[in-house]
Structures are given as structure tokens and as C-alpha cells.
A and B are shown apart, each in its own frame.
Chain A
């Protein structure tokens, strides 16, 4: 079964696209073919929580609740330096491997 990562932002238009782009690029570089990166509206999150293939949420805004899967704050994709972005991607890749 593939592993689903949802990237959530307010409208599913701008910030989540930036993060999705970076994550997809890294996932491809790692040779992971079973990872699906999908951008969604945070308002639609409920519909994804029940999915058994969901392994991770990357949120582009501050999260005020807890989830049963790991949540990463995607802000470094927007404003971080190259090192900060790579560090976050390292963490994400680790979490994918563990899932």
C-alpha cells in the first residue's frame, strides 16, 4: 500500500504547493516510489484522518490540535535557508521510513 502524506494549507493554492514541490522532489531523489504527496485544504482534513494509508501531515499554518500521525510545521519551506529546508526534509524522510 502506498504511503500518503497530506500537505495542508488554507486554500490548497499557494503555500502547500511550495511544500509539496519540495517534498516530491526529495522523495523522488530518495527513490521512494510508494509515497503519495497530496495537497489539501486544512478544512478538509477530517476526510483524510480515517484513511489507513495516511502517515503524515505537513501543515503550513499553526496547528491547534493533536493528530494520531506525526505533524510537521512546513514554514521552513517558505522562509527557511537551504540548510533549514534540508533538515526538515531529512526529518520527513526519516518519518516516512519509520511509517
Chain B
């Protein structure tokens, strides 16, 4: 036991990039992908994780002083820094990630054998939503890995059940027989859309109102480009933070902030994609094994929510939603995070909602404006455990010590994830 705890302690002291590298190489050897693939995957993921944290560092250093300045000038407090998919860093870098992957595989197979779900969870990458929540709960419970895994498994089990409820609709609308989408915040948007669309369809005047997706894309398409959107947002925040009357120096600061935010919007997803490039080849063999094992049953094979983005109404709704969401978050009292990086999740939400609005842009926008409001408050509420998770992984320790707090919509604002966190808090767990 002594040797084991020493070994675990040594492993944790290595930092998340090296931990994930070692964990993935071991997983790769266990899943028999061959040592070359295992080593390449492990190192690639470690690099992606390190890169992700580097990019977040850039934005934290640029954005934190700006939001602080804005707070003193206007007395509006939007003090949380939005890091959104940096949560994938928590997901793949927290110490219990391997345990979580194996646990959910076992639980999913059990549920399929007992016919409790039809969703075969082959989309290993999308475990990250559950694994990020697991990381939050790990932090919330002061470092309890088992409770973290329990929380992550609960979340992913709920995801399979929600996928069962939505699969048929996704299949028909996107013409993709046999799929299911159990991903976190996306599938919850579908459940949310069902009653809201029912109501919208009964409001005279509104029920037939639509906008042409092609027209919106042609006129405002540039706003939908992450880099352009990031630059604009950065400049607007810069103007509020530093004012326009401060001479050349102020303008340089404002433009600099615009560029830094654009950097984050474009490079953060690229880093996440490097992490995926490492993990996916390692998990392909287990995925193929599971598919062969259940091929005679009527099952929904889990795929990433990205397959839902094809319909033109998705990007058109997203373009309209970007400025509206920032505005709503800016004026709502008590919302502490101005969404920037988190806007990247909006197209995926739209992809989950258009099957229910039959591709109607206006209705999709209304549904998602309402859906985002709980995310705005919950991301504020969960910032403490969220920040603690980064801190316990050894990231941004200095800045966090000076009062930096990190938040996100995906996964920090996730409704189901916060319910699970809330249950753990009912049992008395609180971050120090």
C-alpha cells in the first residue's frame, strides 16, 4: 500500500501532460493497438494538452486585466474568464481519467445487456463531458478520485438515456440511420427544445415566421468566423476596459486584446483537436470490438454531435445568436462570465435543436436564447469548483492565487452536470 501511494503521488507530481501520456500508452497496450500507436497517441495527447494550457494562459493574461479594468470603470462585475474547451484539458488530464473510461465502458455494456439503453457508447472522445464533470467533483470533494468517477459515470449514463429519447429524430432529420448522440450539453438542448417548440408552434404570427439561412450567411457570414468574432469581441471589451480617449497607447491595447481573443478562438479548438488526434487511434480497437459484439441488436451507435451540423439553418442561427448571447450575458444581473470562448459550443446546440424546429431559424434562435440563460448562471455558480480543478492539476497556480477565476458553458454551465455537482454538495462537499 505504501509503495502504491508513493507511486501515485509521484505520478501526480509529473503534471497532466506526462500523466496523460503514460495513462494513454498503458491504455493503448491494454487495448492491444500496438506499441507504436500507443506511444504516438500518448505523446500527441500530452502535447495537445500542454498546448491547450499555453493558449489559455495567453488569453488569461490578456483578458483578466481587461475585465478587472472594466469592473472598476463601470462597476459591472464580469470577473470570470471564459476558457470553455480548456475543460477538455481537465477531462483528459485529471488523475482518474483512465478509471472513468473503463468504468463507463463496463457500465454501458451492462446496460445494453440488461436492455436498459439502446445507445452503444462508441464515441470515446465524447466521454470528455463526463470526465470534465468528474474532474470538477474530484476538486469539490478535495481530491476523491472514486467520487469523481461516480459523478462522471452518472452523467454519461444519463447521456445514454437522453440519446435513446432523441435518436430517432436525429436519424430522420439528418438521414443517418442507426446513430445516436449522447454528448453532454448538446442532447440536453434537444430535450429543452421539445416543450418550447410546442409552445412556439401555438403562437399565432410566430409559428410561420422564418428567415432564410442562405441570406443570413451571405450578409453576416463573417461574424460566424471564430477569428473575426473573437477579434470584434476583444476590441469591444477593450474599448469598455480602456476607453477610446487614451491616445495611441490605448488603441494599441485595444487592438492587442482583439488579436489575443482571436488567437484563442482559432487556436483553442486546434489544440483540442491535437488531443483528439492522440486519443482516438488508441480507442478505435475497443470501439470496433464493441460494435461487433452488439451488431445483431437494434442499437444506436453513438457519434459526436458534429454530425448534426450539416443543415444550413445551424450556421445561420449561430450567427444571429453570437451577438445576442453576449448582450444578454452582459445585461443579466448576477451573470459573472461574458461568453467568448464558450460561443464555440453554440453551433452544436443549434445542431441539436434544428431537428425539432424543422430547420426554422427564428424558432431555433428563440429556443437557444432561453436555453443559454441557465448556462449563464450555472457557469457563474460552478466557477469555484471549476477553478479548483485547474488549481489541483497545477495549472495557473499563480494567477489563481491572485484571485483569477475560470468558467465556461461547456462544461461549467452544463445543467445536468451542475445538478450532479449540487447533489454532491448536499452531502456536505464544498471546495475550500
Contacts and interface: CB of A to CB of B under 8 A. Distances in A.
B303 A13 contact: no
Interface stretch (B97-105, B187-195, B271-279): B271-279
A99 interface: no
A6 B361 CA distance: 29
Contacts of A39: 273
A12 B309 contact: no
Interface stretch (B16-24, B175-183, B248-256, B414-422): B175-183
Interface string B263-298: 000000110110011001100100010011001000
A75 B307 contact: yes
Interface size bucket, B side? 35 or more
A13 B224 CA distance: 18
Contacts of A43: 224-225, 315
Contacts of B301: 78-79
Contact of A17 (B277, B303, B307): B277
Interface in B334-374: 344, 347-348, 351
Nearest to A18: B280
A75 B269 CA distance: 22
Contacts of B312: 64
Contact of B125 (A13, A59, A61): A13
Interface of B is mostly: helix
B77 interface: no
Nearest to A24: B281
Which secondary structure characterizes the binding site on chain A? Answer: mixed
B123 interface: yes
Contacts of A9: 304, 306-307, 309
B307 A13 contact: no
Nearest to A65: B312
A42 interface: yes
A43 to B, nearest CB: 7
B269 A15 contact: no
Interface string A57-89: 001111110000000000100110110000000
A17 B307 CA distance: 13
B351 A10 contact: yes
Contacts of B247: none
Nearest to B175: A62
B126 interface: yes
Contacts, number: 97
B272 A62 contact: no
B64 to A, nearest CB: 26
B308 interface: yes
A21 interface: yes
B291 A81 contact: yes
Nearest to B347: A10
A33 interface: no
Nearest to B272: A13
Given A64-B310, A75-B307, A14 B280 contact: yes
B395 interface: no
A36 interface: no
Interface string A21-57: 1000000000000000001001100000000000000
Question: Which of A13, A43, A59, A61 has the most C-beta atoms of chain B within 10 angstroms of its own C-beta?
Answer: A13
Given A10-B307, A14-B306, A42-B310, 6 more contacts: A10-B348, A12-B269, A12-B270, A43-B225, A75-B303, A81-B291
Interface of B: 122-123, 125-126, 174-176, 178-179, 224-225, 269-270, 272-273, 276-277, 280-281, 284, 288, 291-292, 295, 301, 303-312, 315, 344, 347-348, 351
Give 3 nearest A-B pairs by CB, closest first: A10-B306, A61-B310, A62-B310
27 contacts: A9-B304, A10-B307, A10-B309, A10-B348, A13-B306, A14-B125, A14-B126, A15-B304, A16-B306, A17-B276, A18-B280, A18-B284, A42-B309, A43-B225, A60-B306, A61-B174, A61-B309, A62-B174, A62-B176, A62-B310, A63-B310, A75-B176, A75-B179, A75-B307, A78-B303, A78-B307, A79-B291
